[in-house]
Structure 1
């Protein structure tokens, strides 16, 4: 994101975004709620992914990232299918132009979700393939329906994986399983051994997937520190290269956390047997060494306008 100021909406339900719908939880609550629901909303196309959907999702996650009112996000789909992958009737262009100037739209969504301080729970109430799967990989939790089918079908469409899947998928399921999923391009039930623990919960009833995701989101929003959660996920995704380096990094971040008011609130609420009220903002109160890794610049290079007089 750029450093320019962004106006936060008084209500996410009033925010109109193409091909997705934002909802408060409970639905219809006038003020912004700690749990926000994103619903892929192209049921007539099985929620097939479009550039407009990518723009909408990226904007939504960028807003949640800076909004202290939001504590957790639930992503789901309208209808019987979570996402049928990219809308192939729209396609991806003709391959013209320079590769250095191209950014895959699924990758923009994946990075926005990954960089968002607020955890995402994906409620896959139906089947998902292609980018419908890869865009969920940066999420903290994935819950699905046992009778639905899921797959990374790129090689069957003459395409390579995208949405940063080459980074996330092997780390989530292991290289051997990831190689099988990508090489075959097959579609499998969620209990397949090839998925490993990608889906943390597989439910027999499709209608139970969303309520379970909301139950988890409520628990996270009410009982965990957004700052501690964000820093802990970053330690795992952007961790050290050895146990010794991990020890040094974790010690530095832990030392910072002990000085924060969320630590005092967490201990106090536990000893006093009451609900915690965490107030630290992950963007304002993060560890001084955050980010402790070097972030690659994914922005396109600026060019001199042809109309410029040099």
Structure 2
């Protein structure tokens, strides 16, 4: 793996798939400001690589992420603390706007901030044993890095209120039923299944994937008429590409397409 920045995040390059790791396994990948800055750098790096068609977000070691580092959170409430309140929202926005689809692999634990870290990902694969929930109301605050905004868009307002206001863990099977996660798998298989999920995405045309993700991300931000116009605009940009021609020619010739991102 290739370490990023201060070494608290890493990228493992696997052909057209890039695996981004939280790399602080001795602390259950609890997030600190340096780790979050490394995540931003990692996602900016894979976003800029035209050979990458899909990305996974994983935790090095047995746990995805324990959330925010508790010592850091304790220190930030001190009266004279210098607080970087923008870095975590920047992480989430960077993941959300990464051109390639992102698959999160949620194993063992993803509470509070770690839960919010998975929300801007495009797909979520979770282990049956995972502790997954927004606990902030039990800590004197509430999830405010997108938890109250992204979550309702995924599961609806009523379910989002249940998850946020009770502060309880969400059963993985229930999470799948409400559309919060896309697949529940056995313990010990999360990372491999997330990678396989991403590999399946890599079989598709990379330019089509990127334009489709961009259109989908905009869907809830625009009136329908403007969204339809934006969708067509993005599609028209693909009309003269080599991959668009290749896709139809391969289907007519009954063979697998060879996409190049061109």
Q: Deviations over 1:78-100 (max 9, x none)?
A: 33321111001112624769x9x
1:228 equivalent among 208, 215, 222: 208
The whole-number CA distance in structure 1 between the counterparts of 2:233 and 2:10 is: 40
What TM-score, normalized by structure 2, do the two folds share?
0.88
User: Where in structure 2 are the equivalents of 1:157-172 lying within 5 Å?
Assistant: 157-172=139-154
Q: CA deviation at 1:193?
A: 5.8
Q: 1:60 to 1:123 in 2, by over 3 A?
A: same
Contact 2:3 2:10 in 1 (8 A): no
**Equivalent residue, structure 2, for 1:37:** 19
Identify which of structures 1 and 2 has the higher relative contact order when contacts are C-alpha pairs closer than 8 Å and 6+ apart: 2
Are residues 1:70 and 2:52 paired?
A: yes
Are residues 1:116 and 2:105 paired?
A: no
**Equivalent residue, structure 2, for 1:256:** 237
Number of residue pairs the alignment of both structures matches: 260
The whole-number CA distance in structure 1 between the counterparts of 2:3 and 2:87 is: 25
Q: CA deviation at 1:109?
A: 0.9
Decide which structure has greater helix share: 2
Are residues 1:24 and 2:13 paired?
A: yes
User: Where in structure 2 are the equivalents of 1:1-310 lying within 5 Å?
Assistant: 13=2, 15=4, 17-25=6-14, 33-91=15-73, 93-94=76-77, 103-192=85-174, 196-203=178-185, 205-221=186-202, 223-239=203-219, 241-280=222-261
Contact 1:105 1:163 in 2 (8 A): no
Contact 2:211 2:235 in 1 (8 A): no
* Rg larger in structure: 1
The whole-number CA distance in structure 2 between the counterparts of 1:272 and 1:13 is: 40
The whole-number CA distance in structure 2 between the counterparts of 1:96 and 1:227 is: 49
Contact 1:225 1:280 in 2 (8 A): yes
Q: Specify every segment of 5 or more residues in structure 2 that has no aligned partner in the other structure, as ranges.
A: none
Name the SS for the 2:249 alignment partner.
helix
